[in-house]
Amino acid sequence: MARREKTETSVEGLTENQARVEHARLAQEIAEHDRRYYQQDAPTVSDAEYDALRQRYNAIEARFPQLRTAQSLTQHVGAAPSARFAKVRHAVPMLSLDNAFADEDVIDFVGRIRRFLRLPEDEQIVFSAEPKIDGLSMSLRYEDGALVTGATRGDGAEGEDVTANVKTLEDIPKRLNGKNIPAVCDVRGEVYMTKHAFFALNKHQAEIGGQVFANPRNSAAGSLRQKDPSITASRPLGFFAYAWGEMSEMSADTQSGMIKWFTSCGFKTNPLSRMCRSVEELLAFHREIELQRGSLDYDIDGVVYKVERLDWQERLGFVSRSPRWAIAHKFPAEKATTVVRDIEVQVGRTGALTPVAKLEPVTVGGVVVQNATLHNADEIARLDVRRGDTVHIQRAGDVIPQVLGVVLEKRPRDAKPYKFPTKCPCPLHTDVVREIIAGGEEGARAHCTGEFACPYQTLGHLEHFVSRRAFDIDGLGEKQIAFFHEQGWINEPADIFTLRERNGKFTLKGTSGKIRLEEVEGFGETSVRNLFSAIEARREISLERFIYALGIRHVGETTAVALARGYGSWAAFHDACLRLARGDNDAKEEMDALDQIGETVIESLRDYFAEQHNRRRFERLALQVRILEAEKPRADSAIAGKTVVFTGTLEKMTRDEAKASAERLGAKVSGSVSKKTDYVVAGPGAGSKLAEAKKLGVAVLTEDEWAKLVR
């Protein structure tokens, strides 16, 4: 994070208003990077820059916990699976790891584990440490010892079915070796390509005019995602096993014991893995592996530390998108120097203007990089980046670097300070304004005022609407949406569902006659028939997907899920938002009582539903589709569907452990007491929340009573 500390206000120096705006900006930017990385295999930022964004976001939430809502980036992982493959639901979610960037982060990680488990200082915590392979995560499901399914991670809950392809990999056994194999065994690990195989593949691809990959990770992903398994079979892919999902029976009670069992079953496991019994040993292992990094024939970008005891892993549990018992200690980024040829501005779905530095191509760590995001006008001013400047850059694993600073002694004499545009680059050339946050302060974000009149924003909203995590319409991707929008055939989401009835009434720009879509170059009878069928299949949609597809600012997937579960139906949610837009305070309080729904989301919903144009758009859309009610809460425990508040000091478990336990049993954990609260669990020192519970007549339980209830 060296660059951000030098060029941006430190987290400690942010006011709450500034933090709120920065927090929202980072969430939006990271979500876009996730889409490009997971859905398109085409990242536009480096690992280091992405990690820096995540790190700053997490630091803001740590200092301003009131900003932590259901939209938090810690609530989701990965991206939706590709429509090219059938989808596989993971019995146990495939989550990602939190990152450590400095030795202090590792020390904090160990300290958090000790505090969570309430371990005395003299009790040793043993870790299993292993290199972090930079490849493609894979889940392999075995039933009665036979491989039945191979699936990518996807969005963590649902992945791509690549069974036929993984069966061509020599490192993946088709049947597990040994006796007493569990009836169900989900082995997880990383598919990768060696460096020498990567260079040989790229040489061959260049010779035949095929796709040349940016790095081994992308080549592994591209090789595995082939519709023809014979192509995958021709690519030299390897696999390291290191984790597991659903297991009908465990074969060991330690992390290293499970790894040894994988080896006995016929899997390759990383020979560099090691047991570490202190923070000092963890850090020493990290330095040792970093020195070996260049000599390894596969890419790694850090070291993973996991708590050795599985019973402790079970107690520690998870924090939404990652386990508490593991962390990835990343390596520093690689650096180089190049020239800024130009600075271009891109307009996003929400109208945000993002400047991008177009670089003189330079090879960093074996990858040619040509672009770097400059984030906003303030960052350009702080760095004083100009066209023609020589800049220091760094990357860590992907294509796009981060700009560290300018080499002033090499600045051209005629280089002029960059002037951020005051007009949108769209054809309307609408005004560009800076965000004004509470208190009258000017935020860092600049955006086009054209809203839905701006073609960039309209197009962005339509692309979001059909994206994998929204309506997920097969055959209607960004390319097709861009074409239909350019022709004027789709201007809002409802238009998608009237395409078939309007077929034959279309007019291509520059022509006068009416045509059918089948007559347009690039389409055909089969593809059009499949497209219309895919559209019809999406006339029935889940409530959370519908809410997410609307593209409301600050309403991400997990926020949409929280809102869907909170209101249950579109009618109830719609009514609540309309009341919110009219200034109904009861509606605001009801929404605020929902778990992890905060002021930022409430304000966005109020503004969105207050705008008549928006209401007309989604009301026309609602006439075209059937919106399903949300899934009912789990009903297999005494607290399923109940709202619980913990207050005071818990003596038999930590607050985090209590919350994790309640959520596993289907309860909603809230931070405030309201008339919607079912239980308040009060320990010693309970104050205002206990008083509010008594005032509202909410059931108050002691810690022992709570334990008896959930048991």
| Distance of alpha carbon 696 from alpha carbon 698, whole angstroms | 6
Q: Count CB-CB contacts under 10 A for residue 613.
A: 10
Q: Give the closest residue to 125 by CA, choosing from 362, 326, 357, 348.
A: 326
Closest CA to 189 of 263, 118, 136, 250: 136
Query: What residues are paired with 433 via a beta bridge?
Result: 447
Amino acid in the structure at residue 639: I
Buried b (16+ CB within 10 A) or exposed e, 538-559: beebbbbbbbbbbbbbbbbbbb
Question: Distance (Å, rounded) from C-alpha 444 to C-alpha 20?
Answer: 11
Token readout for 64 is 């301003």
710 is written with which tokens? 């959930």
Helices 279-292 & 103-117 angle (0-180, nearest 10): 140
Backbone φ and ψ for 158, nearest 5 degrees, come out as -140, 130
Q: What is the spatial distance between Cα 624 and Cα 618, in angstroms, rounded to a whole number?
A: 10
The Cα 683–Cα 558 span in angstroms is 30
CA–CA dist 240, 243 (Å, integer): 10
Task: Judge residue 515's burial from the number of C-beta atoms within 10 Å of its C-beta, 0-12 exposed, 13-18 middle, 19 or more buried.
Answer: middle
Q: DSSP class of residue 254?
A: B
* Spatial contact of 703 and 651, defined as CB atoms under 8 Å apart: yes
CA triple 504-506-512, angle to 5 deg: 110
Residues linked to residue 159 through DSSP beta bridges, in sequence order: 88
> How many CA atoms, within 13 angstroms, populate the side-chain half-sphere of residue 582?
9
- Look up residue 533 and give its two tokens: 């069928």
Q: Which amino acid is at 700?
A: V
Please state, in angstroms and rounded to a whole number, the distance separating the CA atoms of residues 655 and 646: 7
Query: Which is catalytic among the residues 6, 87, 132, 675?
Result: 132
Q: Which of 58, 63, 16, 21 is nearest to 603 (CA)?
A: 21
Query: Is residue 578 within 8 Å of residue 609, measured between CB atoms?
Result: yes
Helix (H, G, I), strand (E, B) or coil at 339: strand
Structure tokens at 561: 């899920």
CA distance 567 to 573: 5
Q: What is the 3-state secondary structure (H, E, C) of 530-594?
A: HHHHHHHHCCEEEHHHHHHHCCCCCCCHHHHHHHHHHHCCHHHHHHHHHHHHCCCHHHHHHHHCC
Instruction: Note the residue count of the chain.
Output: 711
At 699 the three-state DSSP class reads strand
> Which helix (DSSP H) or strand (DSSP E) does residue 48 occupy?
helix 47-63
Beta strand 643-647 pairing with 668-669: parallel
Q: Report residue 305 as tokens.
A: 């530390």
What is the C-alpha separation between 279 and 107, in angstroms, rounded?
A: 6
Active site residue 514: no
Residues sharing a CB contact under 8 Å with residue 630, sequence separation 6 or more, in sequence order:
542, 543, 544, 564, 565, 567, 568, 569
Give 161's contacts (C-beta < 8 A, 6+ positions apart): 85, 86, 87, 88, 149, 150, 151
Tell me which residues are annotated as active site: 132
